[in-house]
Each structure stands twice: as C-alpha cells, then as structure tokens.
Amino acid sequence: MFAVLRGTVWRFVSYTPPLRYTKFDAAFAIPALQENLNACSNLKRMERIVVKSPADGSVVGEVAVTPPEAIEAMIARAHAAYLHWREVPMHQRVEPLRRLKRLILQERHAIAELVAREQGKPRIEAMIVELFPPLDVSAFLMYDGVRLLQPRRVRSKNPFFSDRRSTYYFHPYGVWAVIAPWNYPFTIPMTQLMALTLAGNAALLKPSPLTPLTGAKVVELFERAGFPEGLVQVVQGGAPQGSALLANPTVRGVIFTGSVPIGRTVAEQAAKTNKKVILELGGKDPALVLADADLQHAAQGIAWASMVNAGQTCASVERVYVEQRVYEPFLEALRAELAKIRLGHPLHAETDMGPVVARFQRERVQRHIEDACARGGRIVLGGRIRADLGELYHEPTLIADATDAMLGMQEETFGPLVMVQPVASAEEAVRKANASAFGLTASIWTRDPRKAQRLAPMLECGSVSVNSHIVAYGDSYGVWGGVKDSGVGRTHGEFGLYELVQPQYVSEVYTGKPELWWYPYSARVHRITDWLMAFLASPSLKMGGATARRLLPELRYLTRHFTPLKMTGGLLRYLR
Ligand code: NAD
C-alpha cells in the first residue's frame, strides 16, 4: 500500500514529459487539421498531446499532459530550488548560462528542425529568429545583466539624509510562471527564462499546447546545462494548467505572452494572489512610408516584416500608411517583393514561407480578406489558400485601398496579409497609426533623420524602428513590450531585467543623531520648518537673507540632528 502511494507521489513529483519524435517523411503530405487546443477545456482530462505538423500532417511527437493536481508539487520543487539558487553568487549563476548558450548553438539544427516541423516556419528562419535572440540575450546577461544586478549605491541628494549611505539591492521574486504562445515557441520562453534565472528566480514554463515539444526542449536544455534540479520545469497543457499555476500563492510572478483576452484573464487570476504580472500581448503594427523613402528598400523590408513566420508575429506589419505621392509606385514595389516569396514546406531549403499553424489561423485571414473586399479593398496579390500544397498554406496577400473600418485594419490578423492605405501627410499617418487599440511596435520609412526623430516619439507604442521593423526584439539592449492593449511591463534590456527583481532600498546612518522629526514635536522644529518652507515658497535674496538670519542662532540645535555643511547642496536644489 505504502509502495503504491509512494510510487504515485513520486510520479507527480518527478514528472518529466517524454519526448517522442517521428522521422519526417516528405511523401506523407496530408493537410493538418489541428484545432486551437487552448479552447479545448478537456486538456484537464486529456493524457497526451499528439503534435501533428502543420506542414504535412505528419506526427511530430507527443507529450504527456501535466495533471493540474501535479502542479502544486512541481511548484514546491521549484521553490526549494529557488531558495538555494538565490544564494548562489552571480558569477556562479553565469556558468550554466554559458553552457546553455553553447548547447543551443551546438543543437541548432535539431532545434530549427523541431520548430519547423512543429510550428511551421522555415528551418532557416527558425535558425535566425528563434536562435539569434537567445544568443544575444545570453551575452547581454553575462556582461550587462551581471553588472546591473549588483548592489548599487543610491546617489540621493535629499539634504535631510545627507549623513546616510543608501544602497539598492535587487532580489528575485521567487517562482514564476512563464506562459508562452506557439508562434515563437523557442525564443520567447528561452530568453525570458534566461533572464529570470540569472536574476535568481525559478520558473515553470507552460508552452502552448500547439508547440509542447519545443517547450519541452527549452526546459531539457536548461537541465542539461546544469541549472539546479527543479529550477526550470515544464508544465504541459492549456488553460487548466495555466490556471493552476496562477492560483498558487507560491508563484510570485507571471510572464504571459499571448492574446489580449487571455492576457486579461491571466491578470485577473494573478491579482488574487498579488503576483507581479508582465503581459506581452497582441499587435497591429503600422509602417509609415513617407514620400522621401527609398521605396525599393521599404518594400523589401515591409515584405519581410509582414510575412515573417507566415505573418504570425505579434509585431508583424499589418497596416501600411503611404504618403499619397508615392502610393502607386510603393504598391507596385511591395507587390513585386511579395510575389517573390516562395511558399512551401518548412523543411525545404528554397522555402521562404511555410503554412499557418492551424485552421483557426487560416480562417481569420480569410475573414479579414473577405471583409476588406466587401468594403472596397483591392486584392493586389494572393488572397487564396494553396490547397495543392496543403490545407494550411496561404498565399502572401496584399490588399490596397484599405479603409479604417476594415477588420484587417482594426483586429490583429496574425497571418500572411498586409493592407495598405494612402494618407495625405506624415502627420496623418501618425494619427492613423495611433488610432488603434494596440501599440506594440511601429516603423517609419524615410531618408530624413530629422523627420524620423520628430515623428518616432509621437507614435504610441513600445518601440519604433526607422527603415527596418521589429529591431527591438533582435537587440537585447532594446526594450520589448507594448502600450494600450499590447501589454503591460517590459522584457529585454535593462528595463526588462529590472522587472524580474524587487529593488530593495537600504539606508544606513551611524552618527547616532536623532532625526529632526522624531518625538517630541516642538515649537522650535515647527518654526524652523516653517521658515525654510516660506523661503522656498517664494525664494528671493531678501527672503534668503531673513531665513539665514533666523536659522543662524539655531545652527547649534540643527547640528544635533544633521551635518549642516553636507546639507547645503541638497537644500540649494529645492530653490529651483
Ligand atoms: P493565447 O492567448 O491563445 O495562448 C497563450 C498561452 O496562454 C498558451 O500557453 C495557452 O495555453 C495559455 N492559456 C490559455 N488560456 C489560459 C488561461 N485561462 N489561463 C492561463 N493560461 C492560458 O495566445 P497564442 O494563440 O498562443 O499566441 C498568439 C498571440 O500571442 C497573438 O495575439 C500574438 O500577438 C501574441 N504574442 C505577443 C508577443 C509579444 O511579445 N507581445 C509575442 C508573441 C505572441
């Protein structure tokens, strides 16, 4: 009886989902019919997820679903690992990170192939967009991250604390939930987990049920790199497993990357136990093509930024506002660039764009195209499903003469569709770009740096690229995150790193002097405070002289509380 009980408990505690890959067979090219598994509430009861490739329907592998009731024990293990890990000096935390980076590079082919098969982006694209960011983030963390997380002196100018020495310490939160989407199944959780662990946290990754194999691979790499046992674990499943993580009070923070409605639910659930919440949500990125732009360059860049990952990128260019004067030549240049995109199987070397991940994605693209056509939009290129390649292959599609009311100009399309609208001026382009519920990133295409620098801060979004797009994600010094419905908080770079720690302020004084404001409150303290404030309220030479004359006899009294000379600089700052 005891042995059975122990076996059951052990199964939950030591839960690691098995990975089973099947060899890719190019001849096995049936269209995949994957549904959005998130919507599938029976993930609570389901025991396994069988992953079928969106590229050809072949079985890529399967994972065991984590029973929600097993999650508490996993969190307890992560917490135990965290208690040990937070004491590990920073220079030692870097060692497994270094090994992790090497492992990623050594296994680049296997990772790229897994992502290509499981999610559908071409293998070369997977290598570039899924593996470069972790490489750059690990370098950022090893150099700047270590420096930024060191205790730091506070350069306070407050005159009343001039006898003190103050320091910031950066403490980890503890256990985090990392809830990830399917569109960048490797780079998103990998970079988030790298930063979380360097900062001393533990984390449980819950990948999307559409890409559980890549999620399992991410965690496997952490384990092989030598991070402490239990520090980074994987929870497989969907909403029930996500909710179980969010309900647990030991989980102190969540980085959620996904859609706006689920992001709201996540924030609501997290609020019940006061967790730190970072939300990386959807986008409807605009590109502003100004009349002086290099049109060929802009067309080439926007073709990539709108179709990378079959348009399933939070920061895809979905709306293009073009100054009227160059509207037609730009359209033609963009059409020509999009027409060159080679749609095909993600494992073929000559493929630029693979399938969309599932039928629900394809249907949304079709809905936006039909709506645009019904409202006077003009299909310049594409518009159809390439059934000859498979059910999930959708042509890169360009719609001209878009209007504000079209669904494709309002809702996130998240597919291979780009819509173009003429505008009268750069200012109108900015107004239209900002007239959106989203605000993730934007781009400006111009040859004039002064114009770009004037317009960029006017755009309501988390980052702006000039003559390129999505730069902030690739540059680990760039800050990543959105405004409005696109999210809350930041990841990446200095600001992203500080989101993962709790700054602590420590103030020390050893003069033994009682603070001026301690009991007993006296008429004298009242007078001194009042003179000082009266002078600061309307500073003038005359008032300054009067205050100095009044304070002079109090100097001896004041030195019982402060070192007046040290205060002078700080007091002068109050004069401004
Ligand atoms: P999604 O919101 O459907 O799912 C995201 C994750 O949340 C999945 O792991 C899912 O299983 C989990 N989940 C679902 N219901 C949950 C619940 N009730 N509680 C807890 N977790 C739950 O998103 P998706 O379809 O996987 O990803 C696409 C979306 O993600 C797009 O909107 C895209 O713009 C956005 N995205 C944003 C960024 C960014 O950096 N801002 C990056 C990538 C993707």
| Cα–ligand 1 centroid distance for 199 (angstroms) | 24
Q: Tell me the CB-side half-sphere exposure of residue 384, using CA atoms within 13 A.
A: 5
Which residues of the chain have a pLDDT value below 50? 1-36, 38-41
Cis peptide before 520 (omega within 30 of 0): yes
Catalytic (active-site) positions: 280, 314
Structure tokens at 177: 């939930």
Distance CA 336, CA 575 (A): 63
Gyration radius of the chain's alpha carbons = 28
The rounded Å distance from CA 277 to ligand 1 centre is 14
Cβ contact 378:400 at 8 Å? yes
Check residue 45 and give its pLDDT.
63
Question: In ligand 1, which atom is closest to the CA atom of 269?
Answer: 19
Ligand 1 pocket test, pick from 46, 214, 251, 257 with the greatest ligand atom count within 8 Å of Cβ, gives: 257
Task: Report the pLDDT value the prediction gives residue 42, as an integer from 0 to 100.
Answer: 56
Contacts with 172 (C-beta within 8 Å, 6 or more apart), sequence order: 82, 86, 199, 200, 201, 500, 501, 502
In the prediction, which pLDDT does 46 show?
Answer: 76
Tell me the residue length of the chain: 576
Q: Which residues line ligand 1 (CB under 6 A)?
A: 38, 179-184, 188, 206, 208-209, 238-239, 242-243, 257-259, 262, 265-266, 280-283, 314, 412, 414, 440, 482, 487
Burial class (CB in 10 A: 0-12, 13-18, 19+), 554: middle
Instruction: Choose one of 42, 186, 208 to mutate for the ligand 1 pocket test, by most ligand atoms within 8 angstroms of C-beta.
Output: 208
Q: What secondary structure letter does DSSP report for 311?
A: G
Helices 2-13 and 71-85, axial angle in degrees (round to 10): 60
pLDDT at residue number 60: 98
Helix, strand, coil abundance in the chain, percent, nearest 5? 45, 15, 35
* Inter-residue contact 49 to 37 (CB < 8 Å): yes
Res 503: pLDDT: 98
